[in-house]
Protein backbone atom coordinates (compact mmCIF):
# COMPACT_ATOMS: atom_id res chain seq x y z
CA UNK A 1 0.00 0.00 0.00
CA UNK A 2 1.33 3.43 -0.89
CA UNK A 3 0.56 6.95 0.37
CA UNK A 4 -2.14 7.50 -2.26
CA UNK A 5 -4.00 4.33 -1.23
CA UNK A 6 -3.68 5.27 2.45
CA UNK A 7 -5.06 8.74 1.69
CA UNK A 8 -7.91 7.24 -0.35
CA UNK A 9 -8.94 4.94 2.49
CA UNK A 10 -8.70 7.59 5.19
CA UNK A 11 -10.53 10.18 3.08
CA UNK A 12 -13.54 7.88 3.20
CA UNK A 13 -13.66 7.96 7.01
CA UNK A 14 -15.75 10.74 8.51
CA UNK A 15 -13.83 13.69 9.90
CA UNK A 16 -10.33 12.60 8.87
CA UNK A 17 -8.12 15.47 7.74
CA UNK A 18 -4.69 15.23 6.15
CA UNK A 19 -1.93 17.71 6.92
CA UNK A 20 1.83 17.66 7.10
CA UNK A 21 3.90 17.43 10.26
CA UNK A 22 7.60 17.99 9.70
CA UNK A 23 7.06 17.32 6.01
CA UNK A 24 5.33 13.99 6.70
CA UNK A 25 1.75 13.23 5.69
CA UNK A 26 -0.34 13.04 8.85
CA UNK A 27 -4.01 12.12 9.23
CA UNK A 28 -6.08 13.25 12.21
CA UNK A 29 -9.68 13.17 13.34
CA UNK A 30 -10.81 15.84 15.78
CA UNK A 31 -7.17 16.91 16.09
CA UNK A 32 -6.13 13.43 17.29
CA UNK A 33 -3.58 11.34 15.41
CA UNK A 34 -4.83 8.45 13.31
CA UNK A 35 -1.69 7.79 11.25
CA UNK A 36 1.52 9.39 10.02
CA UNK A 37 3.70 8.39 7.10
CA UNK A 38 7.26 8.34 8.46
CA UNK A 39 8.84 7.57 5.09
CA UNK A 40 7.90 5.73 1.91
CA UNK A 41 8.02 2.36 3.70
CA UNK A 42 6.88 3.12 7.26
CA UNK A 43 3.47 4.11 8.57
CA UNK A 44 2.76 4.90 12.24
CA UNK A 45 -0.78 3.98 13.31
CA UNK A 46 -2.42 4.83 16.62
CA UNK A 47 -3.92 1.77 18.29
CA UNK A 48 -4.92 0.20 21.56
CA UNK A 49 -2.38 -2.13 23.14
CA UNK A 50 -4.61 -5.16 22.55
CA UNK A 51 -4.99 -4.28 18.86
CA UNK A 52 -1.25 -3.73 18.53
CA UNK A 53 -0.51 -7.13 20.06
CA UNK A 54 -2.97 -8.77 17.67
CA UNK A 55 -1.56 -7.01 14.58
CA UNK A 56 2.02 -7.96 15.50
CA UNK A 57 1.03 -11.56 16.30
CA UNK A 58 -0.85 -11.95 13.01
CA UNK A 59 1.90 -10.48 10.81
CA UNK A 60 5.21 -9.75 12.59
CA UNK A 61 6.99 -9.02 9.30
CA UNK A 62 4.62 -6.14 8.59
CA UNK A 63 3.59 -4.82 12.03
CA UNK A 64 6.21 -4.06 14.65
CA UNK A 65 6.96 -1.94 17.70
CA UNK A 66 10.06 -0.02 18.74
CA UNK A 67 10.72 1.47 22.18
CA UNK A 68 9.98 4.93 20.77
CA UNK A 69 6.35 4.04 19.96
CA UNK A 70 5.62 1.37 22.56
CA UNK A 71 4.66 3.79 25.32
CA UNK A 72 2.45 5.82 23.00
CA UNK A 73 -0.12 3.25 21.86
CA UNK A 74 1.17 3.11 18.31
CA UNK A 75 2.26 0.40 15.91
CA UNK A 76 4.66 0.69 12.98
CA UNK A 77 3.71 -0.78 9.63
CA UNK A 78 6.31 -1.89 7.08
CA UNK A 79 4.29 -1.04 3.98
CA UNK A 80 6.16 -3.20 1.43
CA UNK A 81 5.40 -6.32 3.48
CA UNK A 82 1.84 -5.71 4.64
CA UNK A 83 -1.42 -6.90 3.16
CA UNK A 84 -3.55 -3.92 2.08
CA UNK A 85 -6.60 -5.22 3.95
CA UNK A 86 -4.58 -5.44 7.17
CA UNK A 87 -3.54 -1.79 6.81
CA UNK A 88 -7.14 -0.78 6.20
CA UNK A 89 -8.25 -2.66 9.33
CA UNK A 90 -5.53 -0.95 11.40
CA UNK A 91 -6.40 2.49 10.04
CA UNK A 92 -10.12 1.99 10.60
CA UNK A 93 -9.47 0.81 14.16
CA UNK A 94 -7.32 3.91 14.77
CA UNK A 95 -10.08 6.14 13.43
CA UNK A 96 -12.69 4.40 15.61
CA UNK A 97 -10.52 4.97 18.68
CA UNK A 98 -9.69 8.59 17.95
CA UNK A 99 -13.04 9.91 16.69
CA UNK A 100 -14.62 10.12 20.16
Give me the pLDDT at residue 83, please.
94
Q: Enter the pTM of the model.
A: 0.94
Segments of the chain scoring below 70 in pLDDT: none
Instruction: Please count the structural domains in the chain.
Output: 1
Give me the pLDDT at residue 100, please.
82
Domain that holds residue 88: 3-98
List all residues 6 or more positions away from 74 whose beta carbon is below 8 Å from its beta carbon.
44, 45, 46, 47, 52, 65
CATH number at residue 46: 3.90.1150.30
Amino acid sequence: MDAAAIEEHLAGLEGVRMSTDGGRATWRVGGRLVARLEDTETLVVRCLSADRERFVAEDPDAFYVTPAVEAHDKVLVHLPKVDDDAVRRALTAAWERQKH
